[in-house]
A = this chain, B = another copy of it.
Amino acid sequence: MKTYPYPLLQPPPFRWNTAGDVSEPKVHQWIETLNPRTADETDWSSVDVTLLGVPLSRSSISASAASENPDAIRRAWKSFTPYNLEEDVDLTPLRVVDLGDVPQHVTDIAACHRNIREAMKGMRRHHPHTFPLVIGGDHSITAMLVKGWKEAHPDKRLGILQLDTHFDLRSLEEFGPANGTPIRNLVESGDVRGEDVYNIGLHGFFNARSLKDFADEAGIHYVTLKQARRQGIDTVIRESLDRLSQKVDTIYLTVDMDVLDITQGPGAPAATPGGMRTDELFEAVRLAGTCSKVGSMDLVCLDPARDVSGATVKAGTHVMLSFLTGFMQRRQV
């Protein structure tokens, strides 16, 4: 008998997969919701991807409603088809199950973080063959998700591919496990080695010099946006994935939506002028999807309350689908 491993989750309203019944399916007709009343009858062996919402943003340095993002992304699904025309990839053969949201506490941030760690650990232990795709929330959750992953796989070496405008290496002592400190947290705790972190997209005046010095000392790899454009962002992504693949067992992809230019991602609270374009980001993420070592992904720091024209929520949804396109292509090779 199967056991339902997610007693903690808060399920979204229930939805069947009806994509097969219509000629022009939309994403919300394809992705299933876990039915909490029949969850323990789920055949997990056929599940390819588990999707998890983490509605936490009170750990952000600046005020953020990124906690509202998981639901915003779910609502945006009805504007997308599960078919990538440019790559001629149909996603519907993938079975993606939306597990709902990790429960959060209103005033106990440490408890929120514990729940997040437990949720990732539970997923890895109960059905390790599924791919966990996490929709945040702010960047503080990445440290917790990786720690949960490490608890489930203590002997595995995990590397990080980070698309971000920031190092996220701010002082853990000063800020605690906030959205400015996850990489510092993971490097200082030894969960991830500095040399196993590859950050692509840094630019402008948005990181203190002391953080760059820390990165250099820790051996963190980074390619600024200007450098990446000169070499070709695709080339840089591919090389980073290749190098990581040679060193680590699993690559964790973390996409901070503030890597986007502020006019391309106005809903990312810390987005800045001079950032990445969405078409660059979509292609980078699709490439990451094709790499067989990439074993988990999160998408963070998207605040729907600040969005303009729904552009950033749509971009976030596109990022998730672009990654799954690569994930399909990975299997087709």
Residues of B within 8 A of A15 (CB): 13-14
Contact of A163 with B by CB under 8 A: no
Query: In angstroms, how far is the closest chain B Cβ from the Cβ of A312?
Result: 8
Contacting pair A204 B105 (CB below 8 A): no
Contact of A108 with B by CB under 8 A: yes
Query: In angstroms, how far is the closest chain B Cβ from the Cβ of A324?
Result: 10
- Select the stretch in A23-31, A126-134, A247-255 that faces chain B: A23-31
Query: In angstroms, how far is the closest chain B Cβ from the Cβ of A20?
Result: 12
Contacting pair A140 B206 (CB below 8 A): no
Contact of A333 with B by CB under 8 A: no
Contacting pair B266 A86 (CB below 8 A): no
Count of chain A residues with Cβ under 8 Å from any Cβ of B?
84
Residues of B within 8 A of A224 (CB): 85-86
Of B106, B205, B318, the residue contacting A205 (CB under 8 A) is B318
Q: Which B-chain residue is minimally distant from A167 (CB atoms)?
A: B85
Contact of A162 with B by CB under 8 A: no
Contact of A115 with B by CB under 8 A: no
Which A300-333 residues have a C-beta within 8 angstroms of B?
A: 303, 305-306, 308-311, 314-315, 318, 321
Contact of A231 with B by CB under 8 A: no
Contact of A64 with B by CB under 8 A: yes
Of B12, B209, B226, the residue contacting A90 (CB under 8 A) is B209
Contact of A44 with B by CB under 8 A: no
Contact of A207 with B by CB under 8 A: yes
Most buried by B among A59, A205, A278: A205
Residues of B within 8 A of A310 (CB): 262
Contacting pair A209 B309 (CB below 8 A): no
A112-149 near B? 1/0 per residue, CB < 8 Å: 00000000000000000000000000001000000000
With A59-B107, A278-B273, A306-B309 as known contacts, state yes or no: A81 contacts B209, CB within 8 Å.
Answer: yes
Would you call the interface of chain A mostly helix, strand, loop, or mixed? loop
Contacting pair B311 A85 (CB below 8 A): no
Residues of B within 8 A of A227 (CB): 86
Contacting pair B64 A63 (CB below 8 A): yes
Of B12, B274, B311, the residue contacting A279 (CB under 8 A) is B274
Q: Which B-chain residue is minimally distant from A84 (CB atoms)?
A: B205
Contact of A50 with B by CB under 8 A: no
Most buried by B among A83, A85, A224: A85
With A24-B170, A206-B81, A207-B81 as known contacts, state yes or no: A140 contacts B308, CB within 8 Å.
Answer: no
Other than A59-B106, A63-B64, give 12 A-B pairs with Cβ distance below 8 A: A23-B208, A24-B208, A25-B208, A63-B68, A63-B303, A80-B205, A86-B202, A90-B209, A108-B109, A261-B278, A266-B311, A273-B311
